[in-house]
Amino acid sequence: MLFGQEDSDVSIHSNTTMPIPYAKVTFEGKAYYKNTDEKGRLELEKGEKILRIRATGFEDFFPEKNQKEYILTAKKPIESKDVIPKNKIKIIIGKLYKKTNLYGGATDAASTQVQYISYKNNYPETAFIKSISFLSFFSTKEKKQPIILRLYKNDNGQPGELYGTTDFIAVCKPGRSINKVDLSKSNIIFPKEGLFIGLEWINIPATVLKSDYMKNIDGSSTRLKQSILNLAIAYESTDEDNNFWILFDNGWKKSKPLSKLSKINFEIVISD
């Protein structure tokens, strides 16, 4: 895997010249991160020294200095279990509330949000995740907005390592839209210890809301210290302490219990 530079842009691509979209790049002394675009390109600004390059399926890379090319080492593929889905049982977890007005977004400093989904006794002994759906909203004046869906292992009640080596990209349409991510061909088994389902906002120029101020309910304005990412996700209001976490530059932090924005409105389909 090569990470190369062309003029003021950098790009990630494989040895077959296929671009790697949405690789995550963090910088020394910066709270924010950036992603490469759908063609694997990234424009660096003055003073940005790359700290880490991360792409699902590859080892994290920590360069000593900015340079024209970087080589990322692929992780060893996970051996798949020889279990064939029967698809005789269908169970739906959660429900999409299509008329909701409870939407929330993210900034370029805190843009990975995950919640715990437990395994229930009435699920099949070997349960496969067939699809995961969620609702999104953003201005109809903007183009389609991508977001990454990822699965994380349950590590003693908090998000652990990635569950699998695949990113699932959902491309959200302008306005309100239902986004269904099809996992049926991946044969992902729902673990009995449960798992965390997460969304990671993508920070590329096309997804940043270009505003220096945020309007408050009382009509006043607050100067923004971070860039707001122009994509909102539907949440559910909950009266319980939902196991919901947000990833910051210094690690995972659990959301405050009983917060209205503490449960993403997911609809998950599993089968045997």
Residue type at position 134: F
Say how far apart CA 25 and CA 30 lie, in whole Å: 11
Work out the number of other CB atoms within 10 angstroms of the CB of residue 134: 25
By the 10 Å C-beta count (0-12 exposed, 13-18 middle, 19+ buried), 272 is classed as middle
Within 10 Å of residue 262's Cβ, how many Cβ atoms? 24
68 sits in which H/E element? none
Mention every residue, 6+ apart, whose C-beta is less than 8 A from residue 29. Answer: 49
Q: Which are the contacts of 185, defined by CB distance < 8 A and separation ≥ 6?
A: none
Going along the chain from its start, the domains and CATH numbers come out as 2-71 (2.60.40), 90-271 (2.60.120)
Nearest Cα residue to 42 out of 71, 19, 65: 19
The model carries a pTM of 0.82
What is the residue-wise DSSP string for 29-60?
T-S-EEE--TTSEEEPPTT--EEEEE-TTB--
DSSP bridge partners of 42: 10
Amino acid at 82: D
Question: What is the C-alpha separation between 166 and 186, in angstroms, rounded?
Answer: 9
* pLDDT tens, position by position, 160-182: 999 987 789 999 999 999 999 99
> pLDDT tens digits, the chain, 272 residues: what are they?
545 444 445 655 555 456 778 889 999 988 888 988 888 788 888 888 999 988 887 788 888 888 777 777 777 765 556 677 888 889 999 999 998 888 888 887 778 999 999 999 999 999 999 999 999 998 877 788 999 999 999 999 999 999 987 789 999 999 999 999 999 988 899 999 999 999 999 988 878 776 555 554 445 555 556 677 888 999 988 777 678 998 887 889 988 765 666 789 999 999 99
